[in-house]
Amino acid sequence: MMAHSSPPDGSRTGGDTRSTMENVGAVQRDDSPLITPDRHPEMIVITSWDDGHPQDMHLADLLHRHGIEGTFFVPVRNIEGHATLGPAELRDIAARFEIGSHTLNHVRLDGLAPADAEAEIRNGKEELESIVGQPVEGFCYPGGRVPHGARGMLQRNGISYARTIESFRLDCGDDPYQIPTTLQVFPHRRLVYAANYVKGANYFSRFRCFKTAFLDGSIWSILNKFATHSAGGPRILHIWGHSRELAELDLWDELDLFFTRLMSCKPTVMSLANLAASIRPSNEPDDAPANFSATY
């Protein structure tokens, strides 16, 4: 298990996309109050961050300052040409947060032969482990592309859970190898949200969050509304993103403000690994891929 400052149970109270700039909606600066304790339901906060860009160092410092857990999914190299964390930077983040694998070269596995896809999984995990000096148990599918046979590939190579880019969920699902998310921290256009919604399943449970995202123009307002949905029991707010995009769009101040207001409500903060360990499938799920990445 990763070295964290949280209690032994991993909780605390207190990929991947190929998005391009033409998919960016208007970045709206929202100075209105986001979350207030009197409106806040019971909530678990999860964050995960893809691609292992050097800007992860800044993001890690921000998360640490707010007392928020994060899982950083890191490829050893990135064939798309983006920079990746060096060994010293990886060890620094691994000392504070969970490190997960994102393949060796950040390649979309559904386009590879099964043996090549499994080699990407195996070699990416092993190289990360040799760098950080501790087990790597989590995985995120590059581009959100889940290949046929993914569960077997991951299990054979010691991966205990995997995250997708399915959005608009306030739960953890029932398959530790296809864990959904709530929202990416990125100002997508409405049609991108629609594409993610229609490519998935669980339409009924996802509809309320999808409708909120589709009708609202501000990423920060959307996140606030997701955090304050009050129907039902405990809610899991799982946000994810890429530090490179946060830097390119200069979203650091807004993210800092959101975290400040979020943590003022004293949610339970949990690592993704500990959330994944709590998932108990109702039955053995089939291994059909659920891919969301065509425009997301």
pLDDT > 70: percent of the chain: 79
pLDDT tens across 159-209, in order?
Answer: 999 999 999 999 999 999 999 999 999 999 999 999 999 988 889 989 999
CB atoms within 10 A of CB 191: 12
HSE (CB half, 13 Å, CA atoms) of 293?
22
The backbone torsions φ and ψ at residue 276, rounded to the nearest 5 degrees and listed phi first, read -60, -35
Domain ranges of the chain: 36-277
Rounded to whole angstroms, the Cα distance separating 69 from 275 reads 12
Token pair of 260 as six digits: 């400040």
pLDDT value at residue 253? 96
pLDDT value at residue 232? 52
Fold of the domain spanning 36-277: TIM Barrel (3.20.20)
Is residue 90 predicted with pLDDT exceeding 60? Answer: yes
What is the band of 233 on the pLDDT scale with cuts at 50, 70, 90? low
pLDDT > 90: percent of the chain: 70
What is the band of 265 on the pLDDT scale with cuts at 50, 70, 90? confident
pLDDT value at residue 283? 56
Token pair 């921290």: residue: 185
Range list of H helices, 41-104: 56-66, 87-94
Is residue 131 predicted with pLDDT exceeding 70? Answer: yes
Rounded to whole angstroms, the Cα distance separating 235 from 45 reads 8
pLDDT, mean of residues 87-112: 97
What is the band of 31 on the pLDDT scale with cuts at 50, 70, 90? very low
User: What residues contact 126, with CB distance under 8 A and at least 6 apart?
Assistant: none
Residue 179 DSSP symbol: B
